[in-house]
Chain A
């Protein structure tokens, strides 16, 4: 089936640093989403992207929908300890009632 590729599996950064995460696919998605999951919790939506080329910000987070519709990146600026968690990208082909395809996730660690 379809897969979204996220790598590396883990990232370690210093508090205050910026970090960028990429997500790629072999097939086209019409919606890209970024979620954060804390241990023992469900994923929380960070940013949703609906148009190819779209660049959207949410506080210290910025995400872009690639123009080929096969990739997206998430940037976190000025990281803080509470940014620790697992970041998943997800793609949808059609509307919000269609299923999501998730990447494997990137575990982010932030050193104080």
Chain B
């Protein structure tokens, strides 16, 4: 079946630093990937849609200069949280579409101290 991986699975960083999270589709090509954020006991909130070779589309209220997305290949999208602050601490999850179904990665837990 389709597998999506994320790296790292968890990260702790100091306030003000930048953190990069990778999302890979391991056995299929994904022209479209999605980035979500999930706070404790809440649902997944879509942050942005990442299209290979073009600029990401951000949801309302998501700062594109703070959450940089790069989808350089059909199997890799990256999310960089720039100048992270404690309120950015969350569970970040990506999904990748094979054209029929969206498959989710295992998530990355970010803790900003």
Contact = CB atoms under 8 A, between A and B. Distances in A.
Nearest to A95: B99
Given A96-B101, A96-B102, A97-B97, A102 B43 contact: yes
A104 B43 CA distance: 5
Given A42-B93, A48-B101, A100 B46 contact: yes
Interface residues of A, number: 21
A56 to B, nearest CB: 13
B32 interface: yes
Contact of A105 (B34, B43, B60, B99): B43
B-side interface mostly: strand
Nearest to B93: A42
Interface residues on B, range: 20 to 34
A112 interface: no
Contacts of A104: 42-43
A44 B34 CA distance: 15
The CB with the most chain A CB atoms within 10 A, among B6, B49, B102, B105, is that of B102
Contacts of B91: 40
Contacts of A103: 43
A67 interface: no
A93 interface: no
A105 B31 CA distance: 28
A61 to B, nearest CB: 16
A42 B107 contact: yes
22 contacts: A40-B91, A40-B107, A41-B107, A42-B4, A42-B93, A42-B95, A42-B106, A44-B104, A45-B104, A88-B44, A95-B99, A96-B100, A96-B102, A97-B97, A97-B99, A100-B34, A100-B46, A100-B102, A102-B43, A102-B45, A104-B42, A104-B43
Interface of B: 4, 6, 31-32, 34, 42-46, 49, 60, 91, 93, 95, 97-107, 109
Interface of A: 1, 33, 35, 40-45, 48, 88, 95-97, 99-105
